[in-house]
Amino acid sequence: MLELQGITKYYNPGTVNEMCLFNDFNLSVQKGEFVSVVGSNGSGKTSMLNILCGSIPIDRGRILFNGIDITNMPEFKRQSKIGRVYQNPAMGTCPNMTILENMSMADNKGKAFNLSRGTNRKRIDYYREILRSLGLGLEDKLNIPVGSLSGGQRQALALLMVTMTPIEFLILDEHTAALDPKTAELIMELTDQIVGEKKLTTIMVTHNLRYAVEYGNRLIMMHQGEIVMDTPQEEKMHLKIDDILDKFNQISVECGN
């Protein structure tokens, strides 16, 4: 279970550009939930993920993982339970290292990075097998630097890498936004399959309303640092894209756009 309690976050405090993004923001995500998060630009979706992962500090409030307070835990330590995929496909992999080297590192997460051999030869067949399941032909390119792959291939690899070792939470930050429609579809199906298989608690930020409606079992809409719509599973099954669009328009009117 994942909880944000009474989160307050100011940007540029003490300057003329001071902006309060979150004021007493609360969210709790139950184990096994797959939450889709939608909202306009600047509504705080990505900031919320950054706060969860510890990439940015907060001014007030508490962050709990399974009831344990991790508010002051540094970002890299939190990542032992989290897998995060970014909007930019280049963020999740090392471009100058080969696919094999990248996967070997990902496979070693949670263990010591010591002076033993970086790649375990016995695992190569396993890597090849899971790459084959992607259907992108990556299984024949193990010794090619990741930098020469396409964005979609890199994103698929990044998704595989963060979910290779046992994690509890999967954080998806518009992870299909930079991909062409067909590749985005493929990555989305892969995501759904992995989340189902590994029973991961997932938060997915997306601008694609169709994905938000089709995937996951809870939908949240954010606006100006607040949750303006929270649809649980039973209601979400009957939710249509138009319902969300209506809500979106309503918010925009309130803003005077």
Partner 1 sequence: MLDRILMIMIGALEEGLVYAIMALGVYITYKILDFPDLSVDGTFPLGAAVTAIAISKGVPPVLTLLFSFFIGAVAGMLTGIIHVKFKIRDLLAGIIMMTALYSVNLRITGGKANVPIFMKENIFNNTFLNGMPEVVSPFLVSAVLFVIVVIMKLLLDLYLETKSGYLLRAVGDNPTVVTSLAKDKGVTKIIGLAIANAFVALSGCVYAQKSGYFDIYTGTGTTVMGLASVIIGINLFKRLSFFKATTAVIVGSIVYKICVAIAINFGLETSDLKLITAVLFFAILVASNERKRRAKSNA
* Binding footprint of partner 1 on the chain (CB under 8 A): 74-77, 79-80, 83-84, 86, 90-97, 101-102, 104-106, 108-110, 112-119, 162
Whether the Cβ atoms of residue 205 and residue 170 lie closer than 8 Å to each other: no
Whether the Cβ atoms of residue 211 and residue 11 lie closer than 8 Å to each other: no
Closer to partner 1 at the Cβ: 30 or 80? 80
Closest separation in Å from C-beta 92 to partner 1 = 7
The upper half-sphere exposure of residue 40, i.e. CA atoms within 13 Å in the direction of its Cβ, equals 16
Q: What's the CA gap between 213 and 176, in Å, rounded? A: 15
Which tokens in the block code for residue 44?
A: 């705080």
Q: What's the CA gap between 175 and 111, in Å, rounded? A: 27
Closest separation in Å from C-beta 242 to partner 1 = 37
Closest separation in Å from C-beta 96 to partner 1 = 5
Closest separation in Å from C-beta 102 to partner 1 = 8
Closer to partner 1 at the Cβ: 39 or 92? 92
Closer to partner 1 at the Cβ: 64 or 97? 97
Per DSSP, the residues of 58-79 read -SEEEEEETTEE-TTS-HHHHT
Report residue 104: phi and psi, to 5°.
-60, -40
Chain position carrying tokens 């309690």: 5
Closer to partner 1 at the Cβ: 114 or 257? 114
Residue 218: strand pairing partners: 35
In 89-117, which positions are buried (b, 16+ CB within 10 angstroms) versus exposed (e)?
beebbeeebbbbbbbbbbbbbeeeeeeee
Q: What angle do CA 168, 192, 132 make, to 5 degrees?
A: 100
Closer to partner 1 at the Cβ: 23 or 119? 119
Closer to partner 1 at the Cβ: 2 or 209? 2
Closest separation in Å from C-beta 149 to partner 1 = 14
Closest separation in Å from C-beta 41 to partner 1 = 22
Closer to partner 1 at the Cβ: 28 or 150? 150
**DSSP character at residue 32:** T
Report residue 201: phi and psi, to 5°.
-80, 120
Closest separation in Å from C-beta 209 to partner 1 = 28
